[in-house]
Structure formats: C-alpha cells, structure tokens
Amino acid sequence: RPTSVGAVRRSASKGMSLAAKDAASAHSSVLDPKYHGATNKSRTDAADLTVSSIDTSKEMIIRGRVYDVSDFIKRHPGGSIIKLSLGSDATDAYNNFHIRSKKADKMLRALPSRPVADGFARDALSADFEALRAQLEAEGYFEPNLWHVAYRVAEVVAIYWAGIRLIWAGYWFLGAIVAGIAQGRCGWLQHEGGHYSLTGNIKLDRHMQMIIYGLGCGMSGCYWRNQHNKHHATPQKLGADPDLQTMPLVAFHGLIGAKARGAGKSWLAWQAPLFFGGVITTLVSFGWQFVQHPKHALRVGNQLELGYMALRYALWYAAFGHLGLGGAFRLYAFYVAVGGTYIFTNFAVSHTHKDVVPHDKHISWTLYSANHTTNQSNTPLVNWWMAYLNFQIEHHLFPSMPQYNHPKICGRVKQLFEKHGVEYDVRTYAKSMRDTYVNLLAVGNASHSLHQRNEGLTTRESAAVRVTGH
C-alpha cells in the first residue's frame, strides 16, 4: 500500500489511457483539498472521465457503444439512478447492477446507439477490473449458497427468540439488547436481499427483503433499493450519494457541515458523542420507520410491504402488550435504539471519513471503491459482526456477489490495486471506529482548535479540518 499522497499520485499516474485524455477538463486528477475527508491521509489521483465527445445530457457509453437514453430515463426500472451515469462510460455500473437481469440486455439493445468515437479507449485499471470480474463470474463466485442463506435466516430467528424469552423471563434490559442485535442483523440480511445475492432469483430476493426488512426492522425494501443503489453508483459523490444527505442530524464532511446555521452548529459540535451514544442513530431509526419508509411505500402503492410493517407492530404488542401500551412502547424504543446504533455505526466506519467527489466529476467505478471505501480487519469476529461488509472495497466493486465470498477474493483485488498503484485501504476495526469518531468531532468543531487538541487530533487532521471547514 502506498504510504503517502505523493507515492500514490506517482504510481497512479501510470496507465491513463485515451479515455482520460478524452475527458472534459472541468476537474483535475488531483483532488482539491476542500474535498478531502477531515482525517483521510492518502488517496489515488482520479482522472475526470466525463466524455466530451458525447451529449452529457442524454448519452452514456456501455460496452463500447454510445446510447441515447433520453426517452428511457423515466421508464428505467431502477429509477433515476440512470441519470448519475450520463456523460460517462457506464459499462462497469451496468455490468455489476444487471448481472442477474436478462431483461436489461433486451432493453439496452432497443435503445438508439452508435459506436464510440475513434480513439476512445477505457483506462487500463477499468479494463483489468472488467477482466477480473469476468474471471470471478466464470469461477462461480457470484453463485449464491442456499445453505448459507438458511443459516443466516435461522440465526436471526434464533437471536430474536432468545431476546423475547429473556424479556418474558424478566430480564427486559438484556432481552432488548439481544433483540436489538437481531434487528441490526436483519438489516445486514435484507441488504444482501436488496443486492439479489441471497438466492440469485430477483423476484424471490425482493420478496425476502420485504419480509426481513418489514418484519425485522419496520422498514421498506423498495425505498432502500431506490436509495442504496444510488450510493453504490456514486459513493461519496456530492449531490448524488444519499448517504451524504444527512443534515440537520449529522454531517460527515466539512462541506456538508458548513451549511449549518444557529442551533444547528451547536448540535453538530456534539455530533460525535451523540452519534456513537445512540441519540442520532435512534432518531434516524425512528424517522425511517415511522416517516420516510412507510411514506415511500404509500406513494408507490406497495400494500404488501405496508402489511409487513403493520404485522411487525402487531406481533410486538402481542408479545409484550401485558406491559401496557406505555411499557411496550418504552421497551420498543430501547430495542430500536440498540438496533439502530449497532447497524448505523458499523455502516459509518466504511465511508463517512473518506474524501467526497465533486458533483460534476465522473471517476472510474474502481476508483470510487478504492478512494471512497475502507475495509476493516479480516477476522472471524469482525466478519460475523459486520456480516462480511467489513469488505467494503470488494462489496462496492462487486455488489451482486454473495458477501461471504469477499474474504476469498480480496487477495486478487489487492493484487489488481497494487498493479496499478492504487491504495487498498484496510484498517483495524478499532481504528476505523476511532477515525469515524474523530472525523465527526472534527467536522462538527471545525473552528475550535483547542477542542481539536483536547480530543487528540493529529496535526494533519487539524489542518484538514481548517481546510474543509471554511
């Protein structure tokens, strides 16, 4: 792994092809410091791959052809995510989002298209990545294991049942914690369903996701897919990645935090302990469960999903109604707080402290994963605790791959990155947690150098805060 920004830049500058030369020159390959994460110390230079030879308002390149999608955008089954690839080579996004869809290729062939302009070529890193993806697909790494799925479902049911029995036995505090962990693990499991990597059958995986997410978490699978796929298409991209649209509750980057005014600034000053202490994560959980997710299901008319959400509350009251309405609600609130804190803190460690991408810059699929995701330790405990999503680099490169296969292929990904001088960012679980906490602290207290020193920020981190905090 390169150990300095300069080393990464020198090694990554090799192999840039005609695709980079054809790109619009709106952004330099070297990322402006204002986009740096407050605690992020190194990155690989990323060329702006916006293709100047096509109409960036309605065209994109897929597999060597230019497609006009102007009349297809509103009909796109995946929604508005298609707009995020306009003006770029969308081959990697197309291949990885549609690996199990037979309809996608039929729809693609029906669109107006033409060959790419003479001289256009993919950059060397993207070409090698596609070769690796094809190899892994041929070797069966994208094929689900139904025994593994059965184990994951049985595990969630068993943990939930243990929590319920503990509560019935009078150990309500411990029982709610155990049930909260089960809720968080439902979040991991539905995530796999939303990527169609549980059974590999799109319709079945969607339905399993609705059941697991609706009953297990009280949330909407269709809304999750709508938002999460945008995150995968452009992780950490301003104006595109929904995971950056977190105000007024939390800001993970100085450019986001700079928008706070008045009482909002005071709130952000305490966002690090509020986030890790469960206050912000609980507010997000309740906002999702009772506002955003049911609102989306109502808007799109997904009655089945609304039914699963309603059944969740009916089952909770059936199990704990003997505590009275108030008692059952207090127990529910604590259980949701545990589950929300478990899953949201573990998701945050993988992206939130990294750099952001300018809203009008296109970079390669591979460098989105390299520059804007972080892996955590490959240990049995961390693998279980994070349901293999501690391999975020591999997950973002291959979102449709069953997640238990990530440890098996991470060495080959690392070799690909090393070949092209690209950083492969792996941190211990503890360091990832600390980096996420310090980033929240730095963003929330951008102008308070004394507070930075008291909280243990390094000189480099303090300098980054001053840059991003305006």
Kindly write down the DSSP assignment for every residue of 439-452, as one continuous string. HHHHHHTTT-HHHH
The single-letter DSSP state of residue 117 is P
The DSSP secondary-structure symbol of 288 reads: I
- Other C-beta atoms closer than 10 Å to the C-beta of 114 total 11
- The first and second tokens of residue 30, run together, are 């070297």
Model confidence band, residue 1 (pLDDT cutoffs 50, 70, 90) = very low
User: Which residues pair with residue 357 across a beta bridge?
Assistant: 237
Confidence of residue 42 (pLDDT cuts 50, 70, 90): confident
Give dist(CA 379, CA 407) in Å, integer: 10
- Mean pLDDT is lowest, of 22-31, 71-80, 336-345, for 22-31
Share of the chain above pLDDT 70, in %: 90
- pLDDT tens digit string along 299-333? 999 999 999 999 999 999 999 999 999 999 999 99
- Please give the average per-residue pLDDT across 269-297, as a whole number: 96
Q: What is the mean pLDDT of the chain?
A: 89
Distance, CA of 437 to chain centre: 18
Question: Is residue 230 pLDDT above 90, yes or no?
Answer: yes
Q: Pinpoint the alpha helices (H) of 288-323.
A: 293-300, 303-320
Percent of the chain exceeding pLDDT 90 equals 84
| pLDDT the model gives residue 450 | 38
300: nearest Cα among 216, 197, 210: 210
What tokens appear for 14 in the block? Answer: 């090799």
pLDDT above 80 for 221: yes
* Cβ contact 346:388 at 8 Å: no
Does the model's pTM come out above 0.95? no
pLDDT for 447: 73
